[in-house]
């Protein structure tokens, strides 16, 4: 292997592309001081990986090696150096006959290494040249400074040159890496041991917790498998009971409807019978009056007949026809006037009767309207009462779905400082139940306590009895929350504003802080649209609810939709208050309608009696008018025949006939009155019977309605219980009832219930459980096992590292010892040749420790005593150091050596000795010598001259020996 050429561009003073071709043997590089000849040595070291800018004699940054320009030349932006080696002997571990190593750096500090023009890493370059004798710190590159520092170095520092010669540097590097690994391994072992110790401390208690948790989980799983069956059976049973109750209620309502219809029909019949009774009473009264009138008329006729008889007797006695005619005319005139008077009175009476009938019709219409309104009001009152009963039943169990709240409220007498729930202490104003309920959310079930101690006591009670969870709000730490002034102004001016939720709630003064804490910064709008608009104006900074219970949360998210009737406690309370008011209003309406009907019914009765009286009087007048008309017509006929005796007889006969008819009429009226009175008695009995039936029906209807209400209350209670079980099924087991049915087991339900109680008792005795303990234990145990395995692996790795270090120490000791003795052996001969006699030898400062021992040099020049190298002059020390260098080259052949003015400190005679001795190695090694000494130049096979013009750029040219001497002379 040998260096074939160097290509430089932009490196230090070599601004232009420069190529130096090399052959085997000794190549000299000469030139005056400052021309840049040592930059070639720097370029070689830079390509091989030198990272020190100080060592490269450049600035503070690696980019300073790039040609920076001169007065006449611009700076360049890139520095590139390539070394091309012959590799036909495969010294480099690569299958190429020629190996090119390149390093490039740019002004922006981007750097790059290339091997055979393929980008690579610095490590790839270092690995490639390792064991070849090359390298930035190897023996292959020696400068004047190296010679001086070697001669003046401490024995321990001088050792590195011999280690490089022995080829143990790579082992030291590996050992250093191995020691670092060993140190890291030991640190990891200590860290792992600390962790393992801590894990062992945790595993013991955690194992007990895991066993406890597994026991709990086993019991819980058994409980769930059994309790799901029990819950499904109870829910199914409740569903059947509710269904049966609802069927019974529906059947009762149908019966109520039928009974109400029956009552209405019977009441209509009663009204008809009452009207008929009234009419019968009127007819009887009329007949009675007609009968009395007829009796009176009969008496009058009999009296008249007697008068006529008397008149006839007197007429017969007087014998004057003219007197009889005058009397008849007077009677006829009297009869006509009486008849006309009766007609006038009859017409007036008819008009009065028609008006009375119209008045009666109006009164009856009003009566029917009021009766219908009263019936409607009564039905509405019954519906409200039924709903009241249902709501009341639901409010009796307000916390069915809140196990913890329910438990605390039931035990509040035995607990201290339990004021009540927020729902119980804060009463929404009318119509605000849904809004306040939405504003409170889950806080509606917050339990208000006097102070924190009372809250802690209640929590301990829940834990002790495993009665679920609840949220407590101690009044002692309750602080109001109010909106900012600008928020308050904006909200109140927004469209659809109702007000702040806290202002829509009534409570005692001592609970105002609770109210303001829960509701103080929540605003209420009438609709969701207005709530959105208000929220936008407030930049979604506060919670806004609507009267329907929709919510616009802070941040802009919304909650809303339909709600099940009575789904919230506050809504139920609000509904109960409204029902109470509406029921009271309905009751008042029924009472007012009843009070309005009473005088109206009395008025109807009075008008009916007046109408009957008018009808009787009318009949009487019609009868009298008929009699008067008949009498008048009779008198007119008699007057026409007044002169005849037959007429007088006719009058008597007429009166007799009229009396006879009157007798028959009276007899007929007696029979008719008897028949009407009998009918009246029968109608009265029917009316009494119907009224009794109505009373019984009303009693039965009331009883049926009571039963219906009881059924509704019972159904509401069962539904509440069923919903509680359904929620428990969903909360505890995340199941629907339908899915639970598929999980039912065929078990004895009574035994199952007993087992459920036993399991609950066993679970209660277990106490608090960390359900994550089994998983935590398994994870911790697995981690413990993994870390223990890691520890074992690290211990094994540490053992392997120690073994490798031991092997490397053995190898380094052997190689160093062998090389040391070889060099020591060669040194004596080299020293004798270089000094013209004398002796030199290498001494180990600590022969017992070959791995760290320093190397010293004892020298005995010709004719002098043995002295240490430090006692000689500078030139002598340089020659001794060069002797050691040549001894090393004899002990270990180097394929390439670069000497940079190593002989500068020698006198001319010693330079010639150096040059002659150097030429002995050129058969086995390639030398590149930077020099300005003629003696060295004479021994070079090729010479390159380096010059620098005014532009500050170095140039290369091949020179003859005479030219080189001139350059050296001008240096």
Query: Do the beta carbons of residue 472 and residue 410 sit within 8 Å?
Result: no
DSSP string computed for 80-109: EEEEEEE-TT--SSSS-SEEEEEEEEETT-
Query: Do the beta carbons of residue 518 and residue 490 sit within 8 Å?
Result: no
Q: Which residues, at least 6 apart from 947, have a Cβ–Cβ distance to it below 8 Å? A: 31, 32, 35, 954, 955, 957
Strand 427-428, strand 505-506: pairing: antiparallel
With CA atoms as reference, report the closest residue to 787 among 191, 187, 202.
Answer: 191
Feature table: binding site for ATP: 32-39
Name the DSSP letter for residue 105.
E
CB crowding 726-760: b at 16 or more within 10 Å, else e: bebbeeebebebeebeeeeeeeeeeebbebbeebe
Planar angle of CA 151, 153, 158, nearest 5 degrees? 90
Please report, to the nearest 10 degrees, the dihedral formed by the alpha carbons of residues 634, 635, 639, 641 taken in order.
30
The partner residues of 99 in beta bridges, in order of sequence, read 85
Between CA 962 and CA 681 the distance in angstroms is: 176
Q: Where are the beta strands (DSSP E) in 311-413?
A: none
Q: Where are the beta strands (DSSP E) in 373-466?
A: 418-421, 427-428, 447-449
Task: Determine phi and psi for 472, rounding to 5 degrees.
Answer: -115, 140
Name the DSSP letter for residue 388.
H
User: 493, exposed or middle or buried, with CB in 10 Å at 0-12, 13-18, 19+?
Assistant: exposed
Tokens representing residue 839 in the block: 């002796």
User: 354, exposed or middle or buried, with CB in 10 Å at 0-12, 13-18, 19+?
Assistant: exposed
Feature table: binding site: 32-39
Sign of CA dihedral 372, 374, 375, 377: positive
Between CA 316 and CA 310 the distance in angstroms is: 10
Between CA 360 and CA 528 the distance in angstroms is: 56
Between CA 38 and CA 57 the distance in angstroms is: 10
CB crowding 321-336: b at 16 or more within 10 Å, else e: eeebeebbeebbeebb
How large is the greatest C-alpha to C-alpha distance in the chain, in angstroms?
Answer: 233
Task: Tell me how crowded residue 536 is: count the other CB atoms within 10 A of its CB.
Answer: 12
Name the DSSP letter for residue 836.
T
Tokens representing residue 400 in the block: 């069915």
Between CA 343 and CA 621 the distance in angstroms is: 8
User: 296, exposed or middle or buried, with CB in 10 Å at 0-12, 13-18, 19+?
Assistant: exposed
Between CA 62 and CA 52 the distance in angstroms is: 8
Query: Do the beta carbons of residue 472 and residue 462 sit within 8 Å?
Result: no
End-to-end CA distance of the chain: 33
Tokens representing residue 850 in the block: 């070959």
Planar angle of CA 621, 623, 625, nearest 5 degrees? 65
Tokens representing residue 762 in the block: 């066993």
Between CA 707 and CA 720 the distance in angstroms is: 20
């Amino acid at each position: 292997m040998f260096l074939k050429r160097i290509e430089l561009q932009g490196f230090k003073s070599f601004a232009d592309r420069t190529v130096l071709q090399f052959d085997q043997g000794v190549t000299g590089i000469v030139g005056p001081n400052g021309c840049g000849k040592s930059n070639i040595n720097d370029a070689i070291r830079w390509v091989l990986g030198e990272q020190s800018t100080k060592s490269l004699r450049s600035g503070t940054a690696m980019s300073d090696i790039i040609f920076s320009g001169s007065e006449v030349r611009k700076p360049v932006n890139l520095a590139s150096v390539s070394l091309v080696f012959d590799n036909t002997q495969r010294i480099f571990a690569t299958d190429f006959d020629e190996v090119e190593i390149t390093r490039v750096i740019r002004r922006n500090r981007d750097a790059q290494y290339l091997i055979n023009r393929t980008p690579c890493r610095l490590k790839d370059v270092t690995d490639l040249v390792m064991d070849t004798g090359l390298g930035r710190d190897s023996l292959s590159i020696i400068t004047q400074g190296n010679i001086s520092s070697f001669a003046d170095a401490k024995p321990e520092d001088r050792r590195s040159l011999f280690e490089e010669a022995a080829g143990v540097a790579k082992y030291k590097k590996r050992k250093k890496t191995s020691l670092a690994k060993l140190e890291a391994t030991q640190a990891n072992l200590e860290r792992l041991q600390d962790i393992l110790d801590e894990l062992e401390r945790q595993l013991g208690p955690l194992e007990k917790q895991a066993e406890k948790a597994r026991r709990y989980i086993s019991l819980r799983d058994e409980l769930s498998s059994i309790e799901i069956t029990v819950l499904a059976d109870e829910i199914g049973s409740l569903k059947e009971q509710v269904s049966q109750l609802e069927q019974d209620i529906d059947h009762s309502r149908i019966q109520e409807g039928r009974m109400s219809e029956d009552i209405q029909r019977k009441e209509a019949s009663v009204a008809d019978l009452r009207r008929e009774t009234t009419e019968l009473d009127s007819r009887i009264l009329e007949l009675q009056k007609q009968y009395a009138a007829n009796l009176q008329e009969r008496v009058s006729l009999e009296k008249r007949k007697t008068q006529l008889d008397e008149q006839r007797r007197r007429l017969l006695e007087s014998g004057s026809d003219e007197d009889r005619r005058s009397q008849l005319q007077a009677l006829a005139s009297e009869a006509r006037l009486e008849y006309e008077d009766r007609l006038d009175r009859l017409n007036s009476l008819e008009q009065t009767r028609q008006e009375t009938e119209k008045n009666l019709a109006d009164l009856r219409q009003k009566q029917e309207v009021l009766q219908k309104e009263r019936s409607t009001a009564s039905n509405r009152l019954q519906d409200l009462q039924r709903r009241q009963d249902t709501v009341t039943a639901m409010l009796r169990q307000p916390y069915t779905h809140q196990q913890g709240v329910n438990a605390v409220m039931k035990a509040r007498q035995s607990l201290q400082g339990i004021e009540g729930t927020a729902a119980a202490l804060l009463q929404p104003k009318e119509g605000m139940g849904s809004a306040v309920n939405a504003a409170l959310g889950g806080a509606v079930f917050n339990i208000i306590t006097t102070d924190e101690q009372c809250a802690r006591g209640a929590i301990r009670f829940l834990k002790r009895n495993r009665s679920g969870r609840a949220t407590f709000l101690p009044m002692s730490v309750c602080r109001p929350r109010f909106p900012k002034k600008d928020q308050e102004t904006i909200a109140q001016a927004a469209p659809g504003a109702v007000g702040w939720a806290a202002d829509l709630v009534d409570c005692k003064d001592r609970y105002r802080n609770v109210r303001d804490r829960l509701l103080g910064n929540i605003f209420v709008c009438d609709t969701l649209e207005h709530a959105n608009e208000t929220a936008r104006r407030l930049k979604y900074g506060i919670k806004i609810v609507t009267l329907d219970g929709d919510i616009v949360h802070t941040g802009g998210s919304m909650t809303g939709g339909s709600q099940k009737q009575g789904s919230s406690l506050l809504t139920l309370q609000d509904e109960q208050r409204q029902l109470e008011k509406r029921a009271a209003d309905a009751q008042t309406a029924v009472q007012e309608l009843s009070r309005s009907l009473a005088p109206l019914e009395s008025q109807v009765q009075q008008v009916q009696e007046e109408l009957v009286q008018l009808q009787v009087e009318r009949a009487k007048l019609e009868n009298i008018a008929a009699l008067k008309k008949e009498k008048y017509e009779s008198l007119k006929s008699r007057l026409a025949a007044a002169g005849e005796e037959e007429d007088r007889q006719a009058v008597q006969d007429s009166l007799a006939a009229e009396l006879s008819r009157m007798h028959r009429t009276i007899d007929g009226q007696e029979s008719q009155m008897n028949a009407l009175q009998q009918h009246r008695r029968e109608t009265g009995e029917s009316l009494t019977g119907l009224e009794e039936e109505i009373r019984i029906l009303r009693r039965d209807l009331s009883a049926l309605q009571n039963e219906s209400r009881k059924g509704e209350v019972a159904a509401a209670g069962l539904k509440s219980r069923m919903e509680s079980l359904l929620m428990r099924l969903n909360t505890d087991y995340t199941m629907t009832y339908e899915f639970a049915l598929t999980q039912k087991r065929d078990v004895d339900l009574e035994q199952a219930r007993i087992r459920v109680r036993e399991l609950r008792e066993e679970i209660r005795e277990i106490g608090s459980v960390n359900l994550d303990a089994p998983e935590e234990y398994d994870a911790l145990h697995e981690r413990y096992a993994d870390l223990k395995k890691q520890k074992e692996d690290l211990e094994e790795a540490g053992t392997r590292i120690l073994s490798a270090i031991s092997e490397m120490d053995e190898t380094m000791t052997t190689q160093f010892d062998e090389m040391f003795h070889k060099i020591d052996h060669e040194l004596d001969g080299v020293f004798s040749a270089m000094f013209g006699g004398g002796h030199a030898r290498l001494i180990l400062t600590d022969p017992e420790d070959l791995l760290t021992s320093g190397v010293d040099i004892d020298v005995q020049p010709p004719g002098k005593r043995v002295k240490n190298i430090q006692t000689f002059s500078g030139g002598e020390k340089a020659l001794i150091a060069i002797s050691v260098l040549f001894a090393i080259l004899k002990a270990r052949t180097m394929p390439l050596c670069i000497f940079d003015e190593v002989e500068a400190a020698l006198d001319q005679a010693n330079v010639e000795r150096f040059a002659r001795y150097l030429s002995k190695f050129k058969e086995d090694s390639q030398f590149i010598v930077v020099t300005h000494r003629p003696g060295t130049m004479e021994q070079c096979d090729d010479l390159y001259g380096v010059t620098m013009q005014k532009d500050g750029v170095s140039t290369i040219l091949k020179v003859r020996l005479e030219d080189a001497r001139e350059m050296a002379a001008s240096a």
